[in-house]
Amino acid sequence: MRSLADRVRATIRRFGLIPAGATVAAAVSGGSDSTALAVILAELAPALPFRLAGLVHLNHGLRGCASDEDEQFCRGLADRLGVGIEIERADVWRLAADRRISIEHAGHAARRAFFERAATRVGAAIVAVGHTRDDQAETLLLRLIRGAGPRGLAGIRPRSGLVVRPLLEVSREELRSYLQEREIDFREDASNRDVSIPRNRVRHELLPLLARRFSPAVADALARAATIAREDAELLDRLAGDAAERIITRTPDGVRLDLIGLVEQPPALARRLLQRAIRLTARDRFVGFEQVQRLLESATLGERFRAIDLAGCRAELAGGGLILRPLAPRHGSAVNSFQYVLSIPGEVLVREASCTISAEVAPPDAAPASWAGMPGGVAVVDAAGLDGGARIRNRRPGDRFQPLGLGGHEKLQDFFVDRKVPRSERDRVPLVVNDCDRIVWVAGHRIDEAFRVTASTKAVVILRLKDWRHEG
């Protein structure tokens, strides 16, 4: 039976992660996975061969004294391995506020930027991180629940820029056993036990259930599925790239797709072509599956539509082609256009609307009995509808929803008119939407009927709107 280090060596060689003679830095947090990564790389370095230039650690400062203790642990680990360590501190809270993104996204951005700087300082061409087979399985399940396609189901890639992941084919349990055999301690992050966080819920509840009730090797099966999806997605992307050269043409004011060429493509390629064209036109705005599918069906079924408004662009049929042009901003919307990721639990400052919106998960019996008629600043919705995550944005052309209790869908514009929302304020009203860009809550007004709490609801998300100008 091969040792754990030999299996990691095989992963490195299979994916070409660390060329012979390369200089590598190991990113460490103090947890079991990254601690084992540093020890294994130190063990493998002489044989592969490569040089372990040192460890790199970013102190996010999110857990107070515990974050400082993590930093001290990583210093001690570097001393034990006989290598140097690069450490920085980041104000992730400020970064999130300045960039108007969630804490999770801000932490990810801070780490990426830190890796670039730290690698330069230690002369490393590669930064190794400690993602495991379990992380891969969790990621695939999360994305599957959110309705991702092959690109999303590819999960965590072995290489992404200067970052490599040598532990993707070993389990977290194996790494902990490896450390225990060598009497090497590691740090435990208490936030990893918080099952209100979707990834932790998958880790501590869903995966154990699947392993217990269906297959003990479910994590291995999911990791293999991610590998297959990644290879399939890479092939489809290459084919779509080849087709784009024939079908997509840049124009002075947008993009033109040859309609016959588009219709002849298999749906998987046609969707990729439309996604590419919309992003080119709408300046990399978020493109949801529903928007792409709506446009694809209209085009391939030969519908003679006059125009379809999408995220940031308008599609029209003309001269045998599908023409995409950027949407001219509505009056006042150029200043107020916004979009944020809302973590659950979490809170986002929406500067354009001068408010904060927060989300927390609670059991159904925690919802007030009068939830349906709660004040405009609070909404309670079924958590299942937000399992894929949430975003906050302002209105877009064509927005529709089904206001709770009104019995049918209506245009958001008509809803605002009926509610006597001033025209000057309509672009500033925050909308909480799910991962399919469906309106969950018109903040301060009404939730969508589809997200109401019912007798079968197992958990709720409590959304709160606060005007920060009048806080304190």
Considering the domain architecture, whether residues 283 and 428 belong to the same structural domain is answered as no
Q: Which of 167, 195, 229 is the last residue of a domain?
A: 229
Express each pLDDT in 141-171 by its tens digit.
988 887 777 778 888 999 988 999 999 999 9
pTM of the model: 0.65
pLDDT of residue 143: 85
159 inside domain: yes
**Domain hosting residue 435, numbered range:** 333-470
pLDDT at 113 over 50: yes
Domain count, the chain: 3
Nearest CA to 43 among 180, 135, 178? 178
User: What does the pLDDT look like over 370-411, one tens digit per residue?
Assistant: 444 445 688 999 888 887 778 899 998 888 899 887 767 888
Are 218 and 272 members of one domain?
no
User: In terms of domains, do 155 and 281 share one?
Assistant: no
Which of 26-30, 135-139, 196-200, 416-420 bottoms out in mean pLDDT, i.e. has the lowest? 196-200
Task: Report yes or no on 236 lying in a domain.
Answer: no
Distance CA 208, CA 219 (A): 10
Q: Based on the domain organization, do 180 and 280 belong to the same domain?
A: no
CATH label of the domain that carries residue 319: 1.20.59.20
State residue 101's pLDDT score: 65
17 and 125 fall within a common domain: yes
Does residue 378 sit within a domain?
A: yes
Whether residue 259 is found in the same domain as residue 392: no
pLDDT of res. 469: 42
Backbone angles phi, psi at 450, to 5 degrees: -65, -15
**115 pLDDT more than 70:** yes
Considering the domain architecture, whether residues 118 and 46 belong to the same structural domain is answered as yes
Do residues 173 and 34 share a domain? yes
**Domain assignment present for 241:** no
- Do 345 and 291 belong together in one domain? no
| 237 in a structural domain | no
What CATH number did the domain enclosing 38 receive? 3.40.50.620
Last residue of a domain, one of 287, 307, 326: 326
Lowest pLDDT segment from 69-83, 137-151, 156-170, 331-345: 331-345
**Bigger pLDDT: 1 or 182?**
182
Flag whether 168 is in a domain: yes
240 domain residue, yes or no: no
Task: Please check whether residues 48 and 170 belong to one and the same domain.
Answer: yes
Residues 217-271 have pLDDT tens digits of: 999 999 999 999 999 988 998 999 999 999 999 888 889 999 899 989 999 999 9
- Assess whether 27 and 90 both reside in one domain: yes
Write down which residue in 291, 326, 361 finishes a domain: 326
Across 187-202, average pLDDT: 81
10 and 96 inside one domain = yes
Q: Say if 445 falls within a structural domain.
A: yes
